[in-house]
Amino acid sequence: MNYFLLGLIAMFFLTYITSLFDDAFRKTGIWYKDILGSFKYYVFWVLPYWWLIILVGSIILALIFYGVRIGIEKLRG
């Protein structure tokens, strides 16, 4: 469960950063309006279309994190 939450946070962060570079996101030039606008764009445009990608990516990242943990434990003996 911890690995899934870590993967979910990583996917939210990754999709938020990539949404900032999307052509549909408009910058106003005023820093606080840009921050609020980016959150609004992310919640109303990115999440409704990318929720399945975020969920599947989180599961894949959780499996990778778990596999790395098992691999490290096997190496330690």
How many CA within 13 A on the CB side of residue 27?
A: 8
Q: What is the mean pLDDT of the chain?
A: 91
Question: What would the mean pLDDT of 48-62 be, rounded to a whole number?
Answer: 94
pTM: 0.78
Domain range enclosing 62: 2-76
Higher pLDDT, 70 or 22: 70
Q: What is the pLDDT of residue 14?
A: 92
Assigned token pair, 6: 């870590």
Structural domain total, the chain: 1
Q: What is the pLDDT of residue 53?
A: 93
Spatial contact of 4 and 62, defined as CB atoms under 8 Å apart = yes
Tens of pLDDT along 9-39? 999 999 999 988 887 778 888 888 888 989 9
